[in-house]
A and B are shown apart, each in its own frame.
Chain A
């Protein structure tokens, strides 16, 4: 029986490196990971916070039209599923006690938002949280925090 593809949760820097920092030393490994996702070998998840962060970083380079295109097209371009906190009523809300619980683990507010949404997923199904700043999440998530390079090495292993 064929093994189902593993699911990973992608942090903002994975998209940002691919789109903006093409001379980054991690670019090749990062691109390889994204190709694995695009080809369906690995299933990719990310959150609406991450999509908005990508837009925020690139807002300095893009006009209003392109920014909206980036927002609307990011998930499809990278073949990732975007998850949201709670139900959708055109506003994004979070639970203060839940975010505070993350902050207590010594996290910045932005990291806590992402950590909270990772925790809200079916974590038994998620193999790892992938970030080039995985060290900031080490031991603080219900899933392993790895760099894309570490994840690929294990896949190759």
Chain B
């Protein structure tokens, strides 16, 4: 039996060149076509927007408790980028630990 194909529609959009270049780089790294990357990104955005922060937190916690991955995918490249771009609140890991654990 043939697998049913999803109905699709063609879109055209004007996007910033640098964003497209970064997307293409990511698509190459992941070994997927640009269109698939765009589809995944858009799906992620729509899914997130439909779910409240509280609901996502609840689902993520439930998954953690049951030892399975969270139902929503985390954008790790964005997390890493933000960490790289910003200054650490604490100079060292030792200092961070001393602060959060209130050690002298």
Contact = CB atoms under 8 A, between A and B. Distances in A.
Interface of A: 12-13, 16-17, 19-21, 24, 26, 48, 51, 53, 56-58, 60-66, 68-73, 75-77, 81-82, 84, 88, 90, 108-111, 132-133, 136
Given A12-B97, A72-B70, A88-B62, A57 B53 contact: no
A81 B56 CA distance: 19
B92 A62 contact: no
Given A69-B76, A82-B64, A62 B57 contact: no
Interface residues of B, number: 38
Nearest to A112: B101
B7 to A, nearest CB: 30
A61 B88 contact: yes
Given A13-B94, A20-B93, 7 more contacts: A12-B97, A61-B82, A61-B83, A64-B53, A73-B69, A73-B70, A82-B65
25 contacts: A13-B96, A16-B97, A19-B83, A21-B88, A51-B64, A56-B100, A57-B96, A57-B100, A61-B86, A63-B82, A65-B48, A65-B75, A68-B60, A69-B75, A69-B79, A70-B74, A72-B74, A73-B70, A76-B74, A77-B74, A81-B67, A82-B65, A108-B101, A111-B103, A136-B103
A77 B69 CA distance: 9
Q: Give me the 9 closest cross-chain CB pairs, A-B, nearest first.
A: A73-B74, A110-B101, A72-B60, A60-B89, A69-B74, A72-B70, A61-B86, A76-B69, A21-B93
Given A20-B83, A69-B74, A132 B94 contact: yes
B40 interface: no
A75 B82 contact: no
B79 A70 contact: yes
B96 A68 contact: no
Given A62-B82, A68-B56, A82-B64, A109 B69 contact: no
Given A20-B88, A76-B70, A132-B94, A62 B100 contact: no
Contacts of A70: 74, 79
Contacts of A64: 53
